[in-house]
Structure 1
Amino acid sequence: MFRNLLTGTSLGLLVLLQGGLRAQEDTSRIRVNVVLVQLSVAVTDGKGNYIGGLKPDDFVVTEDKIPEKLAGFEEGVTLTRTSDDTGLPVPATAPPPIPGDPALPSATGGPQTAGASVFILFDSSNYMYRGFVFAQDAIADFIRSLEGVSKVAFYSYSRNLSKITPLTADRSAVIRGVRNTVAGDDEALYNSLLLTLKDAAPLHGRKAIVVFSNGPDNASMVPPEDVAELAQSTGTIIYMISTREALNDEASTTVFERISKATGGKAYFSKSWKDEKMAFESIREDLAHLYSLSYYPAPNPNQGWRTITVKLADKSMQKYKIRTREGYRLQQTSQVAPIAPPGREWPGVPTPQ
């Protein structure tokens, strides 16, 4: 497991990385609220079709095997209906259109991804000289498919991270950033991922980083295990889209798969520009159908890694597959004051207004 390979905290490595990259980032620390735990959960059947229409009572969440009570619940896009004979949710493959329903497909023909904040991290290293324009086209189409719904940021990276377009609802600005990207030098993917996680960490709701990488990392100062753990601890999903160059590198393939799985995301290995477009389409669908669950952890003496398990309560639904992050490490930082859950009073701890 990722967490067993660490020699220090991800938080400390982020501060070290910020100092090493000098002008890239200021020296502010990442601030993580670890009291309210947020989960993005995908529920699918055996064929990979998304299951919608589930309610809070359908989910059973435990942390270190301790039952948790949901404090918040939201379904991504309600493009599902209930079957007439069984009363169980059915796959969201052919929903009936409902006039005026905000969950109708967008103008581009795809589902809306309400409430999702998406960071696109584009490999602009020298690995990208071949197929650069095709990759830009695939990313631009992906951004258009999120029109008017999600906020999107576009970053590129080679040896350094470039925050080309900060998180915004202005799709045209993001696409301009994509078109203005040029290929650079060596590839420091894990450095760049860690810095992107710093920007995603304070956000609420569904949040994801979509990485388009064309080759193995050859310039980072931090290991991928630490990136994966920080993503888990901040509730950020990581999707990896890789091309033939990375696919030919066995180590990169393994790491990409492990990072995405640990955070509740997916890894895609594209052999052509058509595969790239299909990967982005799949990610869009996934973001649109994620359930958002949140809870205030029950008393737990464990101050380290906490394992999260999500199951469906009804035995008839246990045939469905659950995908979410595996857990999180309790962040120890004096810069972040804990926040007491509503209805509870802790000595010396403020209750949110």
Structure 2
Amino acid sequence: MHLRRTLSLAAVLLSAVTLFAQEPAQEMPPLPTLKLSTSIVVLDVVVTDKKGNLVLDKTRDDFTIVEDRVPQKMRSFEPPSAHVMPPNVVVNGVDDLKKIGDAPVNILVLDELNTRFEDMAYVRYSMLKYLNAQPAVLKLPTVLLLATNTRFKQLHDYTQDRDALIAQVKNEKPELPTKMMAGRGGSAAVERMAQGLASLEQIAQASGGTPGRKNVIWVGNGFPSADLVGLDDKTAATIEAAIKQVTDMLLAARITMYTINPTMNSTVTLDVETPDDLTMAETDTGGEPFSGSVQFSTFGPATGGRAFLSRNDINNEIAEGISQGANYYTMSYAPVNGSADAAKYRNIRIVMKDPNLHATTRDGYYPPTASTANPTVGEAPKQAKAQLQMEISNAVNSAISYNGLGVTAVKAGADYTLTVKGAGLEWKMVDEKTERTEATVIAAWYGGKDGMKLLGHAGKELLATRPVGSAGDATLTMPLVVPPGATRLRFVVRDAVNGRMGTADILKP
């Protein structure tokens, strides 16, 4: 697929778009859980002492929230004890996350795409060292993901089974980072930036139905850095807009990133040769934290996490990130500045009553807009269609479970009946008695040893109505002819208004 052909985020999701290169694409007709709205901002805050030890016994009077140098009135406060796993609950799949309430989850990412082969060998060793030091039943639900040259894939669904994750790390065959080896500039480097941004967006979209904090522990170099100084205005604006979109989506999904760079004393910089080279990353660039330059590690502080650099104890860095991600205060406020200017970045700082303590939260935010949850909103038709195709193909070309919508699928004769929970859908009033929802539905079936070889797909539009004020769900019947060799059937549903997505998988359909 030609590098300069696509616009906006369609190009950013380069790896997902390859799905539609396998056969002609069909025409396709998260209510951010971040708890961020135009009136209320919710913050997760980690408190440490001068030695870096976690401090868990503070009260609301110990904190002052400052936005753009103006103190804010705290509306709500939760201590770390409010974010613990319920007793006697053990997670063995994404469907079990509905049982954990507001407890956090961990998302472990191994980045083979952007990391030298020898460094990744040490990363795998360190990941195993970390896991082997944990109890057999992990304290928090954990999913294991892998970024490769061709795909962002799930190695293991959410689980608390330590040994299952160890087995996956051991059994996954390493892959040479051929795109990284192609050089730091040109199309291969731009593709890596695009794929990295696409992966972050996919994490945000896939986890939209989990209300608690999601801690992403990204082990690897991340995409190449880009120096915006000296670029022409159009190219710089393209990159900034792209990073901003991904950052907004991470915050909206209540995701905090801890980046761990395993390469000692090295910085990879993306050489920008032409503006067209960067249309790949066009709609994913981000905000004031990235002003002047774009570095993957900046996603850490931008989301309230941390960037670990130039250390060789990766197993301890993983442990530190997970520990900080699990022990946090949550507080909210209504900004004194009522302006909803989406172009103005709001800086946030937490001042502790005890000056010997340090509070870490996200750097700030842009006031959310409709496109925060649904990036197709406000786009020109061509870009909106590309964005929609990209998001859906990203979900189809993956085994990662999406829970932004609650989706179930049941076979009924030659048909499949799909039920989508009404709570996650956007309902619009048709008249005083009726409200209506609309969503895009894709069915895809797969074969091959790993169940990831696409054999075919079909699309349909979901249109459903219900009485105003009711809690009814949306249902759809799809007649499908699935070939005998198919080993897996996946349904992908995307709300046309709020952009939330859900998936349902049937094995041996």
Normalised TM-score (structure 2): 0.47
Distance 2:103 2:131 in 1: 15
Q: Structure 2 matches for 1:77-226, cutoff 5 A?
A: 115-125=103-113, 127-143=115-131, 145=134, 147-159=137-149, 160-184=151-175, 185-186=178-179, 187=192, 188-214=195-221, 216-217=223-224, 224-226=243-245
Q: Does the C-alpha gap of structure 1 residues 277 and 51 become closer, same or farther in structure 2, counting only changes over 3 Å?
A: same
Shift of 1:21: 1.3
Residue type of the partner of 2:143? A
What corresponds to 1:300 in structure 2? Answer: 338
Once residues 232 and 209 of structure 1 are traced to their aligned partners in structure 2, the CA distance between those partners, rounded to angstroms, is 12
Distance 1:311 1:282 in 2: 21
Any idea what SS the aligned residue of 1:244 has? Answer: coil
Q: Distance in 1 between matches of 2:352 and 2:259?
A: 31
Q: Residue 119 of structure 1: CA displacement?
A: 0.8
Structure 2 unmatched runs, 5+: 1-6, 88-101, 180-191, 226-237, 271-292, 375-424, 428-467, 472-509
Does the 8 Å contact 1:76/1:288 carry over to 2? no
Name the structure 1 match of 2:307: 267
Partner of 2:369: 331
* In the alignment, structure 1 residue 67 sits paired with structure 2 residue 57: no
Taking a change above 3 Å as real, the CA distance of residues 47 and 164 of structure 1, as seen in their structure-2 partners, is same
1:337 to 1:122, Cα distance in 2 relative to 1, 3 A: same
The match for 2:259 is 240
> How many residue pairs were aligned?
289
Q: Deviations over 1:253-281 (max 9, x none)?
A: 97134221211211122454xx2122113
| CA contact 2:72–2:333 (8 Å) conserved in 1 | no
Contact 2:106 2:322 in 1 (8 A): no
Q: How far, CA to CA, are the matches of 2:365 and 2:208 in structure 1?
A: 13
**Structure (1/2) with the larger strand percentage:** 2
Q: Which residue of 1 aligns with 2:267?
A: 249
State the shift of 1:76 in Å. Answer: 5.4
Q: 36, 59, 63: which is aligned to 1:55?
A: 59
- 1:13-32 matches, within 5 Å, as 17=12, 21-22=16-17, 32=32
Change (3 A) 1:121 1:249: same
Higher relative contact order (CA 8 A, sep 6+): 1
Deviates more, 1:131-140 or 1:15-24: 15-24
Secondary structure of 1:119's counterpart equals strand
State whether residues 63 and 308 of structure 1, in contact with CA within 8 Å, keep that contact through their aligned partners in structure 2. yes
What's the RMSD between the two structures over aligned residues?
4.2
For 1:203 and 1:298, the matched residues in 2 are separated by 29
Distance change (3 Å), C-alpha of 1:66 and 1:301: farther
Larger Rg: 2
Decide which of 228, 237, 247 is 1:228's aligned counterpart: 247
Secondary structure of 2:46's counterpart equals strand
Note if contact 1:142-1:284 (Cα within 8 Å) is conserved in structure 2.
no
Contact 1:123 1:156 in 2 (8 A): yes
Contact (CA 8 Å) 2:349, 2:363: kept in 1 or not? Answer: no
Q: Deviations over 1:41-94 (max 9, x none)?
A: 12223332322200123223355647243335131599xxxxxxxxxxxxxxxx
Tell me if 1:281 matches 2:319.
yes
CA separation in 1, counterparts of 2:337 and 2:222?
44
Q: Post-superposition shift, 1:239?
A: 0.8
- Equivalent residue of 1:175, what SS? helix
Write out per-residue CA displacement over residues 193-228 of structure 1, whole angstroms, 9 at most, x where no aligned residue.
22222223442222211111146549xx97545433
Q: Which residue of the partner structure matches residue 84 of structure 1?
A: none
**3-state SS of the aligned residue for 2:143?**
strand
Aligned with 1:150: secondary structure?
strand
Give every structure 1 segment of 4 or more consecutive aligned residues whose post-TM-superposition deviation is greater than 6 Å.
Answer: 23-28, 296-299
* 8 A contact 2:77–2:332 mirrored in 1: yes
Distance 1:117 1:298, change over 3 A: farther
User: Aligned in 2, Cα 1:331/1:197: closer, same or farther, shift over 3 Å?
Assistant: same
Cα deviation, residue 238, structure 1: 0.8
Asked if residue 258 in structure 1 is aligned to residue 285 in structure 2, the reply is: no
Could you say which residue in structure 2 is the equivalent of 1:109?
A: none
Residues 61, 308 of structure 1: 8 Å contact kept? no
% identical equivalent positions: 18
CA distance in structure 1 between the aligned counterparts of 2:19 and 2:79, rounded to whole angstroms: 36
* CA shift in 2, pair 1:328/1:142, >3 Å: farther
The whole-number CA distance in structure 1 between the counterparts of 2:82 and 2:122 is 29
Distance in 1, matches of 2:119 and 2:297, equals: 23
